Chains A and B, each alone.
Chain A
């Protein structure tokens, strides 16, 4: 039974990626064009027009957007996955966790491609790969756990209250601006620093830039806290989905 589910999740992930590249005219190219266009927009606003970018703005932005896009897509794609698969949920008795998991895995595969490209661009910009890269997998696991935790919780609620989708996009935009994805948080007042320390997105952004741009290791204590928060979120999300599972086959989307 377990093995069968693993096969199902893996093949569904392959199918999703395959279908996505076949669905659009430029196919795979969109995996890169999409974040590139977003980056260009922020660069235009913050660096060219507002002149708040600073000297390292382009690599700063590249790292921020690449990681944020991955985390955000785990939350939105994973979060909407049960809802968008309700027709199938009504037909086969499957553990509903399969659907968000497939969405998150396919976004992770995409991230891996984009990350290789990111390393190449950073190198070209004068930030060659360094010996602190070994810490990256530890950091990435934290990003995935945080994204998956939120994604699981969202995936359990959206089938019941689909209206939530309209709120989530907005909330995520606010989170992005409050987490140092597109501009540094150095101006955050001291009274709010504690909030930034437990904001998983802000912490992983800092750590990723430390490794990729400044040849430094992550702040392990800070990262450990993020791990704890993310693992609790994941466990809560998984339990929540399982608790809600009997209700999903009765819902229409």
Chain B
């Protein structure tokens, strides 16, 4: 297929190990390559510290590679961020507008979506109250409802599939699944192989900042499981 919208070639990202002068660098990503096609749902697996979240931030355009190349067709890639820019002393409405602007929406687009945000977050009259008066659950409901309003070409998800209490978890999970079923291009990072197995078509496996294997979901996941358990169970 030639419909590649984002391509990473041997990308490396170096962080300074400490702030003081002369501190060494360490490479959070050493050498990662991937190809993302339109409409595809790519899962990223790897152990803690493999560089999964750093990779998402490269895709989002937040981090600029220290080596290698990122090629991006004219598409927007966005990290699904909860509570982005939330200010405790502002009302739910003002926070929704502020967060929406930070997510790249225009003011009029957010204004048009405010009723939907209010409805989905189930906040009722609390929507006009400062969010410092909210419970943690209410806060999460508002955060998720706002985050869902962003409509990037590529949605980057870092482990946030369901938030809030049990009931809202079902609702938010369903909303996100619906979104992923609508042909939204998604890159999903997760510890949970099950999540990846359920939601993704292709999988990239990274280890110690290097891409190990990229390809069709079942083949990559099988290889990943095998590597994770050097002594394979007979059954």
Chain B, range 55-82, C-beta contacts under 8 Å to A: 57, 60-64, 79, 81
Q: Considering the chains assembled together, what is the distance between the CA atoms of A3 and B15 in angstroms?
A: 33
Number of interface residues of B (CB under 8 A): 28
The segment from B2-10, B86-94, B177-185, B203-211 that touches chain A is: B86-94
The segment from B34-42, B101-109, B136-144 that touches chain A is: B101-109
**A38 CB-CB contact with B under 8 Å:** no
Closest to B77 in A: A93
Secondary structure at the B interface, as helix, strand, loop or mixed, is loop
Q: A18-B90, A19-B90, A94-B102 are in contact. Are A11 and B63 (CB under 8 A)?
A: no
The segment from A54-62, A84-92, A169-177 that touches chain B is: A84-92
Q: A4-B101, A19-B89, A88-B84 are in contact. Are A246 and B94 (CB under 8 A)?
A: no
A92 and B62 contacting across the interface, CB-CB below 8 Å = yes
Q: Which of B60, B64, B89 contacts A18 (CB 8 A)?
A: B89
**B85 CB-CB contact with A under 8 Å:** yes
A250 and B107 contacting across the interface, CB-CB below 8 Å = no
Q: Considering the chains assembled together, what is the distance between the CA atoms of A95 and B112 in angstroms?
A: 26
Closest to A94 in B: B102
Q: A19-B89, A22-B89, A250-B16 are in contact. Are A88 and B62 (CB under 8 A)?
A: no
Cβ contacts under 8 Å, B98 to chain A: 11-12, 15
Cβ contacts under 8 Å, A91 to chain B: 62, 79, 81, 84
Chain A, range 55-104, C-beta contacts under 8 Å to B: 88-94
Q: Considering the chains assembled together, what is the distance between the CA atoms of A251 and B19 in angstroms?
A: 8
Number of interface residues of A (CB under 8 A): 24
Secondary structure at the A interface, as helix, strand, loop or mixed, is helix
Cβ contacts under 8 Å, A4 to chain B: 101, 104, 106
Q: Considering the chains assembled together, what is the distance between the CA atoms of A15 and B79 in angstroms?
A: 23
A3 and B89 contacting across the interface, CB-CB below 8 Å = no
B94 and A18 contacting across the interface, CB-CB below 8 Å = yes
Q: Across chains A and B, which 4 residue pairs bring their CB atoms closest together, nearest first?
A: A22-B89, A19-B89, A93-B61, A246-B64
Give B contacts to A, CB under 8 Å. 13, 15-16, 19, 57, 60-64, 79, 81, 84-85, 87-90, 94, 97-98, 101-104, 106-107, 130
27 pairs of residues in contact across A and B, judged by CB atoms under 8 Å: A3-B106, A4-B101, A4-B106, A7-B101, A7-B106, A8-B102, A11-B98, A12-B98, A15-B90, A15-B98, A18-B90, A18-B94, A19-B90, A22-B90, A22-B130, A89-B62, A90-B62, A91-B62, A92-B62, A92-B79, A92-B84, A93-B60, A246-B64, A249-B57, A249-B63, A250-B13, A250-B15
Give A contacts to B, CB under 8 Å. 3-4, 7-8, 11-12, 15, 18-19, 22-23, 88-94, 160, 246, 249-252
